[in-house]
Amino acid sequence: MSDNNDPKGTSLPDGFDNERRRKLWKKLQGDLPLEEKVSCWKREYRADLVQQLRDIETGNLPIGMWHLIGAIPGAVEPDEPGYRIDERFAEWLAEATTEDMDAHNLACELVAANLKADLLIPAPLRSFGADVLVGITSKPKKPKGRPQTNWYRDVVIVDAIERAEMMGICPTRNDGTDPEKDCGVSLVHEAATEVWEISYATILGIWTDRKKSEPSVARLQLAIGNLLQDPED
């Protein structure tokens, strides 16, 4: 998107994937002072970050934010009273049902909703639903342990820090020698404090342990649990 107050043209158009964003920011902003990079990040992402964190705080998690989970292909979105599911997502979810109880439950919910609403069910999920009905497919065993309840929050925070990194802003700083320097963690911390009380150390810990925010069906279902409510409720 363009910004009329951006004479250097450093705003990004909509629709850029992360790799293209990374290359464009490297080209446009590699030599910019840190202050200008920080200004660009705030203009491009800060307001959206605060809104996403407010949504999480209120339990309003829009399905359109599945783009944050880059390892999950395809898309699914509400099409009341059911869901619009594309073929790539259906294939991924149907394959996951063989080993993941949460994937099994999610697939059952989506198939049941679309059957009830007489909406399209992609072939992989139709086959799954038929196998469940005739007893060929059974639910996988419950996995050991459950995902952390703050997983969705952590995904959003990691994503925001990664966007700062794309712009040439270091994710972290040396708090011993330069504690006032802007970095991805400090920018996200400053924005997050508009929503709740959260320490800089907590944001830093989320970034340091970001491997825990990698996708899994269990975490996905937990994070968007409100999506699976009956749309008529």
Residues 200 and 101 in one domain: no
Expressed as residue numbers, the domain containing 188 is: 18-60+148-213
Considering the domain architecture, whether residues 91 and 183 belong to the same structural domain is answered as no
Note whether residue 65 is domain-resident. Answer: no
Contacts (Cβ under 8 Å, ≥6 apart) of 51: none
Residue 129 covered by a domain: yes
221 inside domain: yes
| Encoded tokens for 131 | 């196998």
Q: Which residue has the tokens 């790539």?
A: 88
Work out the number of other CB atoms within 10 angstroms of the CB of residue 176. Answer: 6
Tokens of 190: 């400053």
Q: What are phi and psi of 79, to 5 degrees?
A: -140, 70
Tell me, yes or no, whether 77 and 137 share the same domain: yes
With a pLDDT cut of 90, the percent of the chain lying above it is 28
Grade residue 20 by pLDDT with cuts at 50, 70 and 90: low
Most confident of 88-92, 150-154, 199-203, 213-217: 199-203
Asked if residue 166 is part of any domain, the answer here is yes
Helix, strand, coil percentages (3-state) for the chain, rounded to 5, are 55, 5, 40
Do 222 and 141 belong to one domain? Answer: yes
- Answer yes or no: is 54 within a domain: yes
Most confident of 42-56, 82-96, 108-122, 136-150: 108-122
Is 7 inside any structural domain?
no
The answer on 209 and 169 residing in a single domain is yes
- How confident is the model over 39-76, as pLDDT tens digits? 989 998 899 899 888 887 876 654 445 444 444 666 77
Domain count, the chain: 2
The verdict on residue 140 lying in a domain is yes
Q: Mind listing the pLDDT tens digit for each residue in 147-175?
A: 455 777 888 898 899 889 888 899 999 98
230, pLDDT greater than 90: no
Same domain, 76 and 138: yes
- Dig out the tokens for 146 from the structure: 């459950």
